[in-house]
Amino acid sequence: MTIREKIHLLFLRAVIRLLCIMPYRWAVALGRSAGLLASRILSFHRKVGVLQVRATLGIHDAEGFMKKVFMNQGELYIDAIRTAFMTDDELKAYVDFQGRRHFDQARAAGRNIMIISGHMNWEVLGNTPRILDEEICVMADYIKSKVVQAIVDEIRSRYRIALLPPKGGMVKNYINKLRAGNIVGMIIDQRGKREDRLFCDVLGLPAPTNPSPAFIALQGDAVILPLYGFKEGDRFVFRFSEPIDSRDFGDDHREIDSISDCWKSSAVRDLSSAMHAWVSSIVREKPDQWFWLHCRWARRADMKKIVHQGADFREFVLSQTR
């Protein structure tokens, strides 16, 4: 790192320390204020959210809704920092963990376990290994900024997750970890590539979907445990939903050698649909805590055209499947 980067790193560490020791309500107010400011500065992301919210949830005051989303995101980063620096006992008292029996039953049955989640308080969910007292293997992308990457690494190191490299055979790495009996975790609600030819219903609209999570679960003979976290008042709830057993979806995935051919497998298609039906259900339950800033139904380049030209977002999304 350069001297300037080292100074920047020391400054960020000091800010994090301050956020951890100041009264919680002050820290939350600061985070929500930063989120509100971001909603004014990041106009493109706000407009993307407005289009997506209107097309899927039919919310009339989408602008007001998106301000709340931005504020919740600001609050999320405060909670991610503070929970990372809690002791295990403090964390377990702060989080109401529901549905743990699903995890214990899968463990007792000797099944390979894949934990899936969506972009809903995902950074706080990173504390799950500390609460379960189990190591979870996850993959995370590198951040361009060395300083931000260093801060993120320091926080994530406290989560006790086993980070897998984002390159060098992601699908194969995950499958091998599952087959070896490791627990793996994945965020599944990123946009997929249209050329993968897999579209799943997400909140009533067909969304390009990455086939990798379903393919990995099928190849790894996994029981899938959907997990989401949401905030109630000043505390968090982590909840395991009903398990999804990959064995229930057939075995034609065994004939697939490449991710690009996954669309040919009914097992991959049906399991992907089941996973995203679950995502839709939790978004409808806590819509303002989901990450609406992400271009879920169309590529960023296409969303820029839609925003700037005032095109029909819903019609464009439907046209992709044709």
Query: 41-76: per-residue pLDDT in tens?
Result: 999 999 999 999 999 999 989 999 999 999 999 999
What pLDDT was estimated at residue 232?
Answer: 93
pLDDT of 271 above 90: yes
Map tokens 């040919």 to a residue.
264
Give pLDDT, residue 65: 98
Residue 124 token pair: 């706080």
Rounded to 5 degrees, what angle do the CA atoms 284, 289, 293 make? 100
Confidence of residue 198 (pLDDT cuts 50, 70, 90): very high
DSSP secondary structure string for all residues of 43-90? HHHHHHHHHHHHHHT--S-HHHHHHHHHHHHHHHHHHHHHHHTS-HHH
Number of domains in the chain: 1
- Residues contacting 318, CB < 8 A, separation 6+: 205, 206
**Cβ partners under 8 Å of residue 147, min gap 6:** 1, 5, 8, 9, 12
Distance separating alpha carbons of residues 44 and 50, to the nearest angstrom: 10
pLDDT(163) > 90 = no
Q: Give the span between the Cα atoms of 42 and 48, in whole angstroms.
A: 10
Residue 170's pLDDT band (boundaries 50, 70, 90)? confident
Half-sphere exposure of 74 (CA within 13 A, CB side): 20
Q: Answer whether residue 150 shows pLDDT above 90.
A: no
296: Cβ–Cβ under 8 A, 6 or more apart, which residues? Answer: 52, 189, 190, 191, 202, 207
Let me know if residue 61 belongs to a domain: no
Q: Among residues of the chain, what percentage have pLDDT more than 90?
A: 82
Does residue 143 surpass a pLDDT of 90? no
Domain presence at residue 79: no
pLDDT at residue 28, rounded to an integer: 96
Q: Can you tell me which residue has the tokens 């390009």?
A: 208
151, 185, 178, 203: which is closest to 314 by C-alpha?
203
Instruction: Note whether 272 and 196 are within 8 A (CB).
Output: no
For residue 121, pLDDT beyond 90: yes
For residue 17, the number of C-alpha atoms closer than 13 Å in the C-beta half-sphere is 6
Residue 18: per-residue pLDDT: 95
- Report the pLDDT value the prediction gives residue 127, as an integer from 0 to 100: 94
Q: Is the dihedral of CA 270, 285, 75, 91 positive or negative?
A: negative
Position 72 in a domain: no
Q: In this model, does residue 322 exceed pLDDT 90?
A: no
- The mean of the pLDDT values for the chain is 93
Q: What is the DSSP letter of 321?
A: T
Q: State yes or no: pLDDT of 141 exceeds 80.
A: no
Residue 137 lies in a domain: yes
Segment among 91-95, 144-148, 180-184, 203-207 with least mean pLDDT: 144-148
Say what the alpha-carbon torsion angle 59, 60, 62, 64 is, to the nearest 10 degrees.
-120
**Residue 292 domain boundaries:** 95-320
On whether residue 310 sits in a domain, the answer given is yes
Residue 169 has pLDDT above 90, yes or no: no
pLDDT at 74: 97
85 domain residue, yes or no: no
Whether residue 12 lies inside any domain: the answer is no
For residue 23, tell me if it sits in a domain. no
Q: List the single range of 76-90, 103-117, 134-148, 256-270 with lowest mean pLDDT.
A: 134-148
- Say if residue 140's pLDDT is above 80: no
* Separation of first and last alpha carbons in the chain: 49
Predicted confidence at residue 152, as pLDDT, reads 83
